[in-house]
Structure formats: C-alpha cells, structure tokens
Amino acid sequence: MATAAPTTHEANDASAVKGSVSLQSLTKSFGEFTAVRDLDLEVAPGEFLSMLGPSGSGKTTVLRVIAGFEEATSGTVRLSGVDVTRVPPHARNVNTVFQDYALFPHLTIAENVGYGLRVRGTGKAERVEQVTESLRRVRLDHVADRLPHQLSGGQRQRIALARALILRPQVLLLDEPLGALDKQLREQMQIELKQIQREVGITFIFVTHDQEEALTLSDRVAVFNNGRIEQVGSARDVYENPQTEFVARFLGLSNLIEAALAEELTGDRRTMSIRPERVRLQPASDPLRDGDVGLLGTVREVVYTGPATRFLITADAGVELIAEQPNAHHPAHEQALGRGDHVRAVWNPTHAARLP
C-alpha cells in the first residue's frame, strides 16, 4: 500500500515545507511518445526517496523535470511549496549529481568543489573555509590540490557530491551516481551517502535500477514502470507487501501463486506472492503445522549463493517454487537435500502478500 509522505504543512508556509518536492499530474511527452504520464509524488523535507525501475521507465525524465532541464508537458512541479513548473533550472534551489561526475578536468579538486561558490561571488576566504569543510565531510581534504584524473572513481564520486552539497540546495537529485563503481566500492559508498544525507538533512531524490541499493538507502522507494509509479512506500512495505505483480517481480525473487491455487490453499481467491526466504522445506511425510500451507514437490536444483542456499522446486500441482535458506541456520534435513528429493514446501500465508 502506498505510504503518504508526511507533508501536511500549509502550502503557503514556505519554512515548514522547505525542501519538499511535490509533483501533481505530471506528464512529459517527447513528440508522440509519452515518457511520464499523469504522475503524482510527494517528497517530504529531508527525506531520502529512491526512484527505482527498469531502463526506460521514466525515472531520469522525472528527475530532469524536477531539475528544470526538461519542461513538463502538463502538470505541476512544486519545490518547497512554490510552483516552479516554468522556472529555469538555475533559479531552482536544486542540484544534480550525475553518474559521470562531470568534474572540470583542468581544475584542482578544491577549485572544482568551490566552483559554484565562485560563480555566486562568494569571497575567497569564505570559499576556502567552506571548501575545506566540504572536503572534510566526504573525507577527502587531503586531495584538495590534485586534479580529477589523479583520483579513483569512488573519490571522484565523493567530490561530485561535495561540489553539489557546498551550495546547500534544498533538494539534491542524484542520477545513478554509483552506477560506474564496482560492487565493493558501491556498497561502501552507499553507507557513506546515507551518513552524509543524515548529517546534512537535505532532501535526496535518488535514481537507480538496482533494487538492493534502493532498499538499503531510502526512507521510501517509488517503483516505476512504463512512465508511472506502480507503488511508493518504505523499503519494507514495497518488498513485503507488493501491490502488483510487477513490483513483486522487480524487487527480488518472488513466488507467485495464481488465484485458483491460492484459493485451494487458503480459501482466498487472490494471487499470492511469497518471498523465497519465507518458504521452508520439510520432509514430504511430515505433517503441516497449524496455520501453514504447503505444496508437495520435487527438488529440481540446489544453488549455493554463499550466504544462502536456493532450492528450485517443481510442485506436483505444476508450479515452480523457489525456497531460500540462510546457510547460517540451515536445518539439517535441508543440508542433505539434493536433486530429485521429495519435499513439502511450506509457508505461512500471513507472510504472503495478496495482489489485487
């Protein structure tokens, strides 16, 4: 279910909504093609919101409309309660961090970070002080005199962030900023990004197509599909209670039990979505515990993934199921399971989401 952003402030009280973003009936077309259709979204001040969705689903377009790089075809964009739909990008109190960092190659790191202040006419002493503080925040004050090519990818990413934050925008837009980093660095940067966002208290709107990244970082996740938001809610909400088949499938693995079989198992004729980690495997001869439901089947594949083991089951009822158990508390009978074994895949329907 969609969770409403806590933005109940009066629209004319600018201080109360400082940093809020409100999109109403936003549509963006490119010629005949509609990239974003009739989209509503409320982002609260200081919130970390991720826009998650497959390639081409309209995330970047929404970000560009918020920044003012694209003009909305129809609908309204409000920043801090003020209608900025027709306001040019430089007059909006937002900043954007791009995936390619866009640092000036011939300026030092300190000059890159201080560039925006310089354009604004901030005096030199003030500039030096703010640049130092900003570099310290991203823990890179020791590279102030280097050129961008003398830094690693992760360091350049942090500089791009420092350069955006130094202007103290009310809203920071981040377009796949960690996309170019390898997995390990990316995970490290995710933690740092979250820490920095907490420290500065600025509203972050973060575009990604990496579901784990969105779940890890965000207060709320907006799941995009085909120019629309399918669902918006906390990470736990969109993961545990997907409202559509698309959301269930896009956010990790999910077992979808179609309506007729769901009715047979539970009496409720709605498609059931159950996550693999909620499915246990027990010997076929063991009885069901009270409240549980289960399907008899055959183990088709056992996949070791490091922290967990994944079992692919073909149920006698015809459906394919995935069960995943952490290797740390892997029941003994499951450790011994191999291809061809008969099992009962069991779960509690209260752990399943129902799709309307």
Residue 68 CB, nearest approach to ligand ATP (Å): 15
Q: Note whether 68 binds ligand ATP by CB under 6 A.
A: no
Stretch of 49-57, 177-185, 211-219, 313-321 contacting ligand ATP, by CB under 6 A: 49-57
Residue 181 DSSP code: S
- Options 17, 35, 109, 321; binder of ligand ATP; rule CB under 6 A: 35
Residue 203's nearest CA partner among 20, 343, 39 is 20
Site residues for ligand ATP, 176-215, by CB under 6 A, read 209
Under the binding rule (CB under 6 A), the answer on residue 71 touching ligand ATP is no
CA 42 – CA 144 distance, rounded (Å): 38
- Residue partners of 114: CB distance under 8 A and separation at least 6: 127, 128, 130, 131, 166
Residues 6+ apart with CB under 8 A from 163: 103, 112, 113, 115, 116, 134
Nearer to ligand ATP, 246 or 311 (CB): 246
Between 156 and 209, CB nearer to ligand ATP? 209
Burial class (CB in 10 A: 0-12, 13-18, 19+), 16: middle
Residues 112 and 125 sit within 8 Å (Cβ to Cβ): no
Quote the least distance from Cβ 120 to ligand ATP, whole Å.
30
Please, which residues have CB within 8 angstroms of residue 172's CB and are 6 or more apart in sequence? 94, 95, 96, 97, 164, 165, 202, 203, 204, 205
Rounded Cα distance, 181 and 83, in Å: 36
The nearest distance, CB 55 to ligand ATP, in angstroms, is 3
Helices 109-120 and 124-137: crossing angle in degrees, nearest 10, is 130
Is 38 a binding residue for ligand ATP by CB under 6 A? The answer is no
Considering the rule CB under 6 A, would residue 81 count as an interface residue with ligand ATP? Answer: no
When the beta carbons of 209 and 275 are compared against ligand ATP, the nearer one is: 209
Q: How far is the CB of 98 from ligand ATP (least distance, A)?
A: 11
52 binds ligand ATP (CB under 6 A): no
How many other CB atoms are found less than 10 A from the CB of residue 351? 14
Cα 31 vs. chain centroid, distance in angstroms? 29
58 binds ligand ATP (CB under 6 A): yes
How far does CA 95 lie from the centroid of its chain?
19
Rounded to a whole number of angstroms, the minimum distance from the CB of residue 227 to ligand ATP is 7
Regarding 222 and contact with ligand ATP (CB under 6 A), the answer is: no
From the list 55, 285, 305, 350, which residue makes contact with ligand ATP (rule: CB under 6 A)?
Answer: 55
State which residue, 211 or 271, has the beta carbon closest to ligand ATP.
211
Q: Which is nearer to ligand ATP, 15 or 55 (CB)?
A: 55
Closer by beta carbon to ligand ATP, 63 or else 272 = 63
List 281's β-bridge partners, or say none. Answer: 345
- Per CB under 6 A, does 30 bind ligand ATP? yes
What residues from 229 to 288 belong to the interface with ligand ATP (CB under 6 A)? Answer: none
Interaction between residue 53 and ligand ATP (CB under 6 A): yes
Of 29-37, 98-106, 327-335, 347-355, the segment contacting ligand ATP by CB under 6 A is: 29-37
- Look at residues 45, 1, 324, 35 and name the one whose alpha carbon lies nearest to residue 169: 45
State which residue, 176 or 324, has the beta carbon closest to ligand ATP: 176
Q: Which two tokens stand for residue 270?
A: 């709605």
Minimum CB separation of residue 208 from ligand ATP in Å reads 8
**Residue numbers at the binding site for ligand ATP (CB under 6 A):** 30, 33, 35, 53, 55-61, 209
